[in-house]
Amino acid sequence: MHYVSVDNLKPGMVLGQEIYDAEGRTLIMAEAPLTEENIGFLSFLGILGVYINDEAGKDVKSGGIVNTRVRKDAVSVVTKFFNRAKGDAIKEKYGVEVSREEEDIQNSVSQVVNEVLSDEQVMNTIIEVRTYDGYTFFHSADVAILAGVIGEKCHLKDTEIRDLVTAGFLHDVGKVFIDPDIINAPRRLTDEEREKMMAHPDKGFEYLRVNFSFNENVLRAVHEHHEWYNGGGYPSKKGGNALAFISRVLKCADVYDAMTGRRVYHEPYLPGEVMEYFMGRSGMEFDPSIVKTMTRTLCVYPAGCDIELSDGRRGIVVENHVGAVLRPTVFIPETGESVDLLHDRDTMNLTITKLAI
């Protein structure tokens, strides 16, 4: 598959992935030839680009952290859970019995954890597509999946990864109790608005504690996901080992996914730019041990994306290598050659100078 921005899509290109909304409804099927109408529809949805099937990308080893069905189900389950929370917020109704939504979350957690643990080589090699209006739900599902991957790479126990993925699904549920105009403000928040926004970990923790039976580890991670390693975060200004380790992992997954996604107040940053941010704030905002794991695990040149080499040649990333994320294998469409930046001795002086996503 070959990643192509929406601006560069042309009628007749064959879609390499299913496009679906936050409720799990298929909008455009995989393998569908693109038309002017559905290219316009993709743009309307706020989607930046999609994977297509073409000759240039036929050798790309890409497929997401978990399979399409598991991610699609996860997004749908999160959507239902948050909508339930919105209803409770409106009704101010507490003390309800354990719900079907909680059971659905746990079932989805099991699917995600099984996927993460089944592949020792799993890496974040694909740019996940999300619709603009379903951002919160896609973000929550993707944070849960990414947190599970990072947790596995940090050698957490299976039960800890399960708690981590559960917390990832739920970490932003407190935002349903915050004015949407504050959540989606395309500007700098006022001091009063920022104070209200910073209350969402407390509100989410309390909502989950009162209404559901998620364990203390999950609740603690939800409550601590905006704390900083140096104690400069919120709501409690705890740091270091006073924070649960899964909270520190969740923090990293949350920030990484937020920065690489489009928001009303910023365009997405490139994966390499985000990793530079993490390395620059290691020991301050983020746990250094987790940052070290991420720099070896999260690929800054996603498979299927166009790149430019330091000798001027343009190519497509076809495979990433564990532990050497800056040195992928690249296909050069103009000559048909494959360039392995990690293993080919002739490429030692070559670097990637540009990534187009």
Q: Please, which pLDDT band fits residue 289 given cuts at 50, 70 and 90?
A: very high
Rounded to whole angstroms, the Cα distance separating 164 from 99 reads 21
pLDDT in tens, 167-220: 999 999 999 888 888 887 878 889 999 999 999 999 999 999 998 989 999 999
Rounded to whole angstroms, the Cα distance separating 128 from 341 reads 25
* Per-residue pLDDT, 225: 97
Least confident window among 42-56, 113-127, 219-233? 113-127
* Per-residue pLDDT, 133: 62
* Per-residue pLDDT, 172: 93
Output 228 or 108, whichever has higher pLDDT: 228
Q: Which of 60, 19, 73 is nearest to 299 (CA)?
A: 60
pLDDT in tens, 92-146: 544 444 467 788 888 889 888 888 777 655 555 556 776 666 778 889 999 999 9
3-state per-residue secondary structure call for the chain: CEEEEHHHCCCCCEECCCEECCCCCEEECCCCECCHHHHHHHHHCCCCEEEEECCCCCCCCCCCCCCHHHHHHHHHHHHHHHHHHHHHHHHCCCCCCCCHHHHHHHHHHHHHHHHHHHCCCCCECCCCCCCHHHHHHHHHHHHHHHHHHHHHHCCCCHHHHHHHHHHHHHCCHHHHHCCHHHHCCCCCCCHHHHHHHCCHHHHHHHHHHHHCCCCHHHHHHHHHCCCCCCCCCCCCCCCHHHCCHHHHHHHHHHHHHHHHCCECCECCCCHHHHHHHHHHCECCCECHHHHHHHHHHECCCCCCCEEEECCCCEEEEEECCCCCCCCCEEEECCCCEEEECCCCHHHCCCCEEEEEC
* Per-residue pLDDT, 37: 93
Output 280 or 23, whichever has higher pLDDT: 280
CA distances from 4 to 19, 30, 80, 222, 356 (A): 14, 15, 31, 35, 9
* Average of per-residue pLDDT across 294-320: 89
Least confident window among 20-29, 48-57, 116-125, 252-261? 116-125
pLDDT value at 239 more than 50: yes
Q: What is the separation of C-alpha 18 from the centre of its chain, rounded to a whole number of angstroms?
A: 17
Average pLDDT over the chain, rounded to an integer: 87
* Per-residue pLDDT, 218: 96
Q: What is the separation of C-alpha 148 from the centre of its chain, rounded to a whole number of angstroms?
A: 11
**Model-level pTM greater than 0.75?**
yes
